[in-house]
Amino acid sequence: MLDDIVIGLEIHIQLLTKAKIFCNCSTTYFDQEPNTHTCPVCLGLPGSLPVLNQKVVEFALKTALALNCKINQTNLFHRKNYFYPDLPKAYQISQFDQPIAINGFLEIVPENSRTGRTIRVNRVHMEEDAGKLIHLERDGQIVCSLVDYNRSGIPLLEIVTEPDICSPEEAIAFLQKLRTMVQYLEVCDGNLEKGSMRCDANISIRESRTGALGTKTEVKNMNSFRAIKKALEFEITRQRRLLERSEQVLAETRRWDEASGKTLSMRSKEEALDYRYFPEPDLPPLTIEQSWIEQVKNNLPELPEQRKERFVIDYKLSNYDAQRLIEVKSLGNYFENAAQYYQDYKNLANWVLGELLRCSGEGNIAIESCTVSSNDLVELLQLIDNKTISGKMAKGIFEEMFKTGQSAADLIKKSGITQISNEAQINDIINKVIEDNPETVQDFNAGKEKAIHFLVGQVMKHTKGRAQPDLVLNLLKERIDKNS
Ligand SMILES: [Zn+2]
């Protein structure tokens, strides 16, 4: 049976405002003492009244405009009613039929694909986050549940796509692009592991021949790109197998279980709660002036796509290198800082994308807090260019710089490992190599051009890689010509 995969995403991003959405409590809740950032509003105490944080609207506007959305100038807030211990009011203040923005889109280029795709964005709306339950377990059984309201009232944006996504790869491409974008906009840190960016996916299988839509399931609880990809792949296979056996796919919410690598049923959609949305009586309708929208639009920072284009034009980088450099904002900044003082941009990009990423990845260190500054890297590259050290030696030195935080010049001075550019010294070694390898020299004289590379290799070995290969090659040729 031929079929199509149909995926829609619902993404929640936590906004980086200083205060919560409807009160003045601080939004720093990670690693804080439970219930220390709370007040009557975010604890949902009777008689307390919410006041909308203007910064939340501004951040929502920024995101919606970057997603090419149409802004609704009249917004309503609604109560979404459900009971759960982490929701003290027994309703969440959210937006329902008049959200802040609708009808946007994002262009993506999935991995291993040359063609771009447009994924439509259905809506963007503002809402408050719930608190957090902490379950205490003994012998695998929950014995007690605690609730921490520090997260209650943290501002969220929910971004809902149309079901335009046709594969797990496209879903990942969309999410990666969105994450980079919100990081550039400085509205969200995009950290999936810590839950400041969360993604739920709706998945169904459509029969290609008839175009009949299949029943969809919703998958939750995925906190890394890897988990999202695996969960989508698992769910697609599960649904296909059911359909092949002419069994039914149930409309349900499923949870990704990392340990077993499976999606597991959480609750059926037929029993899904009726949220009884109604307008929030404690908040007046929000009117967004056109002038404010214009102001936000005009002050949008450079977005990843624009930066990529600029990198290709200004620094003559390949699309591929430019893409990799802009993906993490701090990495792009690192490159640009160094590029002010070092103009071999291709070489610089190779070092940033090669050694810098390798060392920071191995040590799990963020670019902004790594010990080798962009100036330190420039100094190292200049030492290669002026032939004080070879490129090979420089890699070892870079690793040392990364570990110790010392400069390239200091490390070279300490270890005395400069490149040998003294011709007399190299010639001594060449004499020895020629003496030890008469047959190879004969081969070269007989026209086997490649034989010389073996001799260069021998000289490099004797100098422990400290000679300049070009110089060695020239001196060797001169020497052999003289002998023959
Ligand atoms: Zn509060």
438-474 residue pLDDT tens: 888 888 888 888 888 898 888 888 887 777 778 888 8
pLDDT at 273: 59
Distance between CA atoms of residues 197 and 243, nearest Å: 33
Say which residues have a Cβ less than 8 Å from residue 146's Cβ, sequence separation at least 6: 34, 133, 134, 135, 136
76 domain residue, yes or no: yes
Asked if residue 194 has pLDDT above 60, the reply is yes
Mean pLDDT confidence for 276-300: 96
pLDDT at 409: 84
Contact 175, 25 (CB under 8 A): no
390 domain residue, yes or no: yes
Q: Are residues 435 and 321 in the same domain?
A: no
Q: Are residues 308 and 288 in the same domain?
A: no
Expressed in angstroms and rounded, the spacing between residue 484 Cα and the centre of ligand 1 is: 89
pLDDT at 342: 95
User: How many other CB atoms sit within 10 Å of the CB of residue 137?
Assistant: 10
Expressed in angstroms and rounded, the spacing between residue 180 Cα and the centre of ligand 1 is: 30
pLDDT at 43: 96
Helix (H) or strand (E) holding 421: none
Expressed in angstroms and rounded, the spacing between residue 28 Cα and the centre of ligand 1 is: 12
Expressed in angstroms and rounded, the spacing between residue 158 Cα and the centre of ligand 1 is: 21
pLDDT at 481: 81
**Residue from 454, 452, 460, 458 nearest 476 by CA:** 452
Distance between CA atoms of residues 335 and 349, nearest Å: 7
Expressed in angstroms and rounded, the spacing between residue 132 Cα and the centre of ligand 1 is: 15
Expressed in angstroms and rounded, the spacing between residue 36 Cα and the centre of ligand 1 is: 10
The number of C-alpha atoms within 13 Å of 478 and in the hemisphere containing its C-beta is 11
Asked if residue 135 has pLDDT above 70, the reply is yes
Q: Are residues 97 and 191 in the same domain?
A: yes
- Residue 270 pLDDT class (50, 70, 90 cuts): very low
Q: Which residues pair with 287 in a beta bridge?
A: 74
Q: Look at residues 415, 440, 467 and tell me which one is the last residue of a structural domain.
A: 415
Contact 360, 370 (CB under 8 A): yes
Q: Are residues 407 and 442 in the same domain?
A: no
Mean pLDDT confidence for 273-281: 86
Q: Are residues 373 and 471 in the same domain?
A: no
297 domain residue, yes or no: no
Number of H helices, E strands in the chain: 16, 16
pLDDT at 68: 97
Contact 352, 338 (CB under 8 A): yes
Distance between CA atoms of residues 42 and 235, nearest Å: 37
Expressed in angstroms and rounded, the spacing between residue 20 Cα and the centre of ligand 1 is: 7
Distance between CA atoms of residues 169 and 161, nearest Å: 15
Expressed in angstroms and rounded, the spacing between residue 284 Cα and the centre of ligand 1 is: 19
Distance between CA atoms of residues 277 and 280, nearest Å: 9
Expressed in angstroms and rounded, the spacing between residue 25 Cα and the centre of ligand 1 is: 4
Q: Are residues 33 and 170 in the same domain?
A: yes
Asked if residue 110 has pLDDT above 50, the reply is yes
Helix (H) or strand (E) holding 25: none
Task: Find the range with the poorest average confidence among 36-45, 93-102, 357-366.
Answer: 357-366
160 domain residue, yes or no: yes
Asked if residue 272 has pLDDT above 70, the reply is no
Q: State the total domains in the chain.
A: 3
Distance between CA atoms of residues 323 and 305, nearest Å: 9
Asked if residue 368 has pLDDT above 90, the reply is no
- Residue 343 pLDDT class (50, 70, 90 cuts): very high
Q: Look at residues 386, 415, 444 and tell me which one is the last residue of a structural domain.
A: 415
Distances in whole angstroms, Cα of residue 141 to Cα of each of 136, 137, 257, 262, 271:
8, 5, 17, 21, 26
Q: Look at residues 292, 320, 337 and tell me which one is the last residue of a structural domain.
A: 292
Q: Are residues 117 and 178 in the same domain?
A: yes
Q: Name the residue range of residue 389's domain.
A: 302-415
pLDDT at 303: 94
Q: Are residues 377 and 472 in the same domain?
A: no
Size of the chain, expressed as the number of residues it contains: 484
376 domain residue, yes or no: yes
Expressed in angstroms and rounded, the spacing between residue 52 Cα and the centre of ligand 1 is: 12
Expressed in angstroms and rounded, the spacing between residue 199 Cα and the centre of ligand 1 is: 26
pLDDT at 60: 98
Asked if residue 42 has pLDDT above 50, the reply is yes
Geometric angle at alpha carbon 362, from 360 and 363, rounded to 5°: 65
Mean pLDDT confidence for 303-313: 95
138 or 416, which is more confident: 138
Say which residues have a Cβ less than 8 Å from residue 72's Cβ, sequence separation at least 6: 98, 99, 100, 101, 102, 288
CATH classification of the domain holding 427 = 1.10.10.410
Expressed in angstroms and rounded, the spacing between residue 370 Cα and the centre of ligand 1 is: 36
Expressed in angstroms and rounded, the spacing between residue 302 Cα and the centre of ligand 1 is: 33
Asked if residue 420 has pLDDT above 80, the reply is no
Expressed in angstroms and rounded, the spacing between residue 300 Cα and the centre of ligand 1 is: 29
Expressed in angstroms and rounded, the spacing between residue 291 Cα and the centre of ligand 1 is: 30
Q: Are residues 206 and 79 in the same domain?
A: yes
Expressed in angstroms and rounded, the spacing between residue 55 Cα and the centre of ligand 1 is: 16
**Residue from 152, 157, 154 nearest 181 by CA:** 157
Q: Are residues 255 and 309 in the same domain?
A: no
Please state the separation of Cα 452 from the chain's center in Å: 47
Distance between CA atoms of residues 261 and 484, nearest Å: 69
Expressed in angstroms and rounded, the spacing between residue 90 Cα and the centre of ligand 1 is: 16
Percent share of the chain, pLDDT over 90? 62
Question: pTM of this prediction?
Answer: 0.82
Q: Which residue is listed with tokens 């050694």? A: 355
Q: Are residues 392 and 334 in the same domain?
A: yes
Mean pLDDT for all residues in the chain: 90
Q: Are residues 239 and 323 in the same domain?
A: no
Expressed in angstroms and rounded, the spacing between residue 32 Cα and the centre of ligand 1 is: 15
Contact 132, 75 (CB under 8 A): no
